[in-house]
Structure 1
């Protein structure tokens, strides 16, 4: 493991990178255009994640600046203890060492992931998808320029331009030390990494997020919440795919009709269970396995549920463990729902679209973990650390 850089050095690189991204936005956009023109797939979510525009560049710059001004996550005291023999015992945060992130299509991850890893004292190996190669290499070049201008070794941030076989070989027999791997992408990518990796893996898994409209819901709020969650960004893992509507919701039929009309205005394909597929524009569910699917598309499933307890049970059975929301005026019901739903992020009267490191105040995210060890939800600056024990004595022996 390399000697940890001083916090001022780490912050200087982040600030320099923010300036370089701003100064070189035309080059990034031009390289991204090459990637977009080369992409032949029909996956709308993949294309959306691949595309870089001025707004995405502004978000990259903002994330770098926010990271630069956050507290140092290294050396934070988590525990202290004075032993009977006088030893002073401390537990403090420490870097992992080297982190490998394997991701698909998103050039902004090349900024965000590297920034978080570097600020938290880790070296990072970036393995992006072939569909975003030109964009990623342009951004990696800027990282090396920022490191060079601060006279810091370039091996703190490395881009691995590997094909699938080379990646598999590296996972199985790394040519350098790797302490942690984070796959960020679809289920096929995650399965590939878990099959071949020889070191710990944190899974950034599927979304398949639910909204439960409780019988004491504000119906206008519920409608806005569902539409935002479904249509704001279909390529996001925090998008809504399933809606459960309480059978005792007052004026339920009017709400359902309004929901269907509004979703259709956004060209969303609607599927429903037996109670809701009676509506003309709702297709019947042909296979219950659809409740487990993450769509990443203009597609949604709506269903009726008996009560909050059944909604919780359904979510825990089918969701990806990412995000779920309850819409209700009843605070007690909301607390019960949030306590018992087994997801990384639970919401009361707010959109699942906020499950995002930057939105939740972390200064961006390496990924959104659906694992429970060692971190769940957005993996931010504060979470890309492990810990170590510091024991100070004056000759004590046991």
Structure 2
């Protein structure tokens, strides 16, 4: 096991210097060939994915998690299209971020460079495999992919297709590495390979992210557990609020930018809550409410302290009646995971107060939290959604996968 993981890391490290030097046209061609490979392999990818879905159903996975795991023709074509969109994006590598000249005549430039070797540890969503590979290639990085056991067959065939697409077209397939063992020991080993890996990005549930953050000696970019809130202010348009809440909770409940908690201003709670809760319940959502909520709607489940902390990733939502915007902000900053938060209001002052004071990677006024996504933000795809404040925050596109170096031009200057 140890030799296997180290070998993969070594191959990624050796190839990283090659891809770092590649020009934009070559990287774009690789992405287009990878995209073609996915579309030409629809049937075999779907067959392998069915094995994972069958096992997930046998193990009693929730319908939301099975949805995240499932691939079909439409989703595979979206993966392929995602690679094409990445090819259309500006190449960040070699761009001058800033430049200046010192009084002694030294010309200094800050230039974007690849990070080197990026390790991605992720769960459930096999589309991450192609998105991550595509973004790393466009940003001049080699990548080591370690997907979860629940998607092992899907991830393995996707990587095989991507690597074969590179090799058939004269490119180095070693730019993309895949750890195809499901033993957690492989993750533990990756976390200690500072010699070969420049950064690790965990994508998945709270347990995985916490485990990597607490145990890795390789630098980690912490991505998003999403306990996301929607606060309905006293001046909110009810129809707008209903549409946004339904979208944020129901469209895809198993994703990190889905709403998990609803906060409602007490001035409108008796009028608004019966309507929205009925709609949610009719759509299969389990509503867990605070005491004030249950006084208005007595057939909802009692919410616990733990419910307000929980990323359900399912058709469940916690509901709390709050006195006003200050209590809403206080609640979100206490229980939120700094991912995505939204206010529904007609009050310009309250909207700006919320956007200014809520501590999260993405804050919204009158829009669904479901937009926190690399594709929706115009990044083509994303490597993850960072909830930390160092290096990168929010949906991580190409620039988040780069560092900088200082390029200094002189004419014989020496320091006195």
TM-score category (smaller protein): over 0.9
Are 2:236 and 2:345, in contact at CA under 8 Å, matched by a contact in 1?
yes
Aligned-partner SS, 2:89: coil
Are 1:270 and 1:281, in contact at CA under 8 Å, matched by a contact in 2?
no
Task: For residue 71 of structure 1, report the CA deviation from its aligned partner.
Answer: 0.6
Range moving further from structure 2, 178-187 or 271-280: 271-280
CA distance in 2, matches of 1:248, 1:389: 56
Structure 2 residue 338 is matched with structure 1 residue 318: no
Aligned partner of 2:260 in structure 1 is 241
Are 1:260 and 1:281, in contact at CA under 8 Å, matched by a contact in 2?
no
Structure 2 residue 172 is matched with structure 1 residue 157: no
CA distance in 2, matches of 1:170, 1:302: 40
The two structures, once aligned, show a CA RMSD in angstroms of 1.3
Task: After TM superposition, list the pairs within 5 Å mapping 1:238-317 onto structure 2.
Answer: 238-249=257-268, 252-278=269-295, 279-285=297-303, 287-317=304-334
Structure 2 residue 21 is matched with structure 1 residue 2: no
Structure 2 residue 404 is matched with structure 1 residue 387: yes
CA distance in 1, matches of 2:254, 2:59: 14
Range moving further from structure 2, 52-61 or 261-270: 52-61
Structure 2 residue 59 is matched with structure 1 residue 41: yes
Structure 1 residue runs of 5 or longer lacking an equivalent are none
Structure 2 residue runs of 5 or longer lacking an equivalent are 1-15
Are 1:9 and 1:150, in contact at CA under 8 Å, matched by a contact in 2?
no
Which of the residues 359, 371, 391 maps onto 1:374?
A: 391
Task: For residue 310 of structure 1, report the CA deviation from its aligned partner.
Answer: 1.1
Task: For residue 155 of structure 1, report the CA deviation from its aligned partner.
Answer: 1.4
Task: For residue 280 of structure 1, report the CA deviation from its aligned partner.
Answer: 2.9
Query: TM-score, normalised to structure 1's length?
Result: 0.96
Task: For residue 205 of structure 1, report the CA deviation from its aligned partner.
Answer: 2.7
Identify, as 1 or 2, the structure richer in helix.
2
Aligned partner of 1:352 in structure 2 is 369
Which of the residues 181, 189, 192 maps onto 1:169?
A: 189
Task: For residue 149 of structure 1, report the CA deviation from its aligned partner.
Answer: 2.8
Aligned partner of 1:31 in structure 2 is 48
Equivalent residues, number: 394
Aligned-partner SS, 2:71: coil
Task: After TM superposition, list the pairs within 5 Å mapping 1:109-188 onto structure 2.
Answer: 109-162=128-181, 163-173=183-193, 177-188=196-207
Aligned partner of 1:105 in structure 2 is 124
Task: For residue 393 of structure 1, report the CA deviation from its aligned partner.
Answer: 0.9
Structure 2 residue 70 is matched with structure 1 residue 51: yes
C-alpha distance after superposition, 1:52-88 (max 9, x if no partner):
1122112212211110011111112111111112111
Aligned partner of 2:3 in structure 1 is none
Are 2:308 and 2:318, in contact at CA under 8 Å, matched by a contact in 1?
yes
Aligned partner of 1:90 in structure 2 is 109
CA distance in 2, matches of 1:244, 1:301: 9
Task: For residue 362 of structure 1, report the CA deviation from its aligned partner.
Answer: 0.6
Aligned-partner SS, 1:373: coil
